[in-house]
Amino acid sequence: MPILPALGDSVRKREAMKKITSFVGGTSGAWRILSMETVAGEPLSLATHLDILDSNLSENFSGNWQLRGSRSYERYTNHEEHEQLIQKSPPLGRPEANSAALIPIQKTDLWWQLSQDERRKIFEEESHHIEIGMAYLPAIARRLYHSKDLGEPFDFLTWFEFDSKDKLAFDKLLKELRQSKEWTYVQREIDIRLVRS
């Protein structure tokens, strides 16, 4: 006799699935794509618009591509950095933040085979990733989505929102990060720039 799963599980699973966000590139959406630059690795096919959906899409979606990520817990920040980030980070969706960037990133197998302390050392002590990002707060709002465990082609989806007057500052932020030791472990990166439709 088959035994049905406990109701609580399906309810909890539905709740948890909301954690997964889908970035769908297609011909319509809340954001208009200005440019898609392949910084490293294989390109992503072009799209004119992007939609961000708080759900886990099925294989049947109407866009040209979908990239999925999960809001997750912090992997490298220590307690002090964590507190500073909470204090300085602006929310997404600020009315003045009319510009955005979606930068999907994939790191090398070598990176993932490093131990936690080795990755932390490269990430912050040698590359100052948190420190650099912090210098651009609150102007550049940022959210990280984790994709690696989802079996996605990218490991992370990084999302940034800012006032278009801060575009040069944002370019400078990226330049600093891309010159860091951490970035020698990046094997695929697409820089997608957007404005609200």
Q: Which is nearer to its own copies, 26 or 90 (CB)?
A: 26
- Give one DSSP letter per residue of 52-112, joined into a string: EESS---S--SSSEEEEEE----SS--HHHHHHHHHHPPPS--TT--EEEEEEEEE-HHHH
Return the residue of 19, 94, 165, 196 that touches its own copies, per CB under 8 A: 19
Q: Which of helix, strand or coil describes residue 166?
A: helix
Which residues, numbered 43-62, are part of the site for its own copies (CB under 8 A)? 43-47, 56
Considering the rule CB under 8 A, would residue 93 count as an interface residue with its own copies?
A: no
In this structure, are residues 38 and 190 in contact, taking their beta carbons and an 8 Å threshold?
Answer: yes
Q: Which is nearer to its own copies, 86 or 168 (CB)?
A: 86
From residue 103 to residue 142, the character string flagging contacts with its own copies as x (rule: CB under 8 A) and all else as - is ---------xx-xxxx-x----------------------
Which positions ≥6 away from 88 have C-beta within 8 Å?
134, 137, 138
Q: What radius of gyration do the chain's Cα atoms show?
A: 18
Instruction: List interacting residues with its own copies (CB under 8 A).
Output: 2-6, 8-9, 12-13, 16-20, 26-27, 42-47, 56, 64-65, 70, 72-79, 81-82, 112-113, 115-118, 120, 146, 148-153
